[in-house]
Amino acid sequence: MNPVDDHLAENLKVLFVGFNPSIRSSELGHHYANPNNRFWKILYEAGLTARKYEAAEDAQLLEMGYGFTNIVERPTKAADEITKDEYREGREVLTQKIEKYRPKVVCFVGKGVYQEYSGRKSAPWGKQGDQTVPGVIDFVAPSSSGLVRMKINEIVDIYRQLHEFK
């Protein structure tokens, strides 16, 4: 399995952070490439993009100020395959990336991603009260996985809150 390249630049509007690449993303080399993942649909329906992009176009979103990375590089079938050591190492690497690139907002795509990163046991949806990297807003959004049981319109409403920070 191949890791999926980050798409990073300085001063991004939003850096989207997932758990790790799916097997499909690893095969294709693009973020959120699993056909059951609703990420690209959510961005469009939340008004964050003018059209529904395809996973193969992920690098193009840098031009809009959106970047992509994961807390763990290793692709897996499911996030429960990620080890504690991988999370520990991933937290350190992710913090270095955030400190270097200084996005306005880090959007954790999944509450569990944020909990693993921050060490907090709970978190509300949306902007967090505390910042893990000073000067960078932490934002928690639902996972875009098709396994998430929330209604799509509820998920979209949470992502729509990112307009406040653009």
Instruction: Go through the chain and tell me how many residues it has.
Output: 166
pTM (two decimals): 0.96
31 included as an active-site residue: yes
Candidates 2, 7, 11, 20; catalytic one: 20
Residue 22 pLDDT greater than 80, yes or no: yes
Residue 79 has pLDDT above 90, yes or no: no
2 catalytically annotated? no
Structure confidence at residue 35 as a pLDDT band (50, 70, 90):
confident
Band the pLDDT of 6: cuts 50, 70, 90. very high
Q: Distance between CA atoms of 153 and 140, rounded to whole angstroms?
A: 16
Q: Which residues contact 8 (CB under 8 A, 6 or more apart)?
A: 15, 67, 68, 69, 97, 101
* Cα distances (angstroms) measured from residue 139 to each of 7, 109, 123, 146: 19, 9, 10, 21
Instruction: Please report which residue ranges of 1-110 form alpha helices under DSSP H.
Output: 23-28, 39-45, 84-101
In order of start, what are the domains of the chain with their CATH numbers? 14-165 (3.40.470.10)
57-69 confidence digits (pLDDT tens): 999 999 999 999 9
Catalytic residue among 7, 30, 31, 37: 31
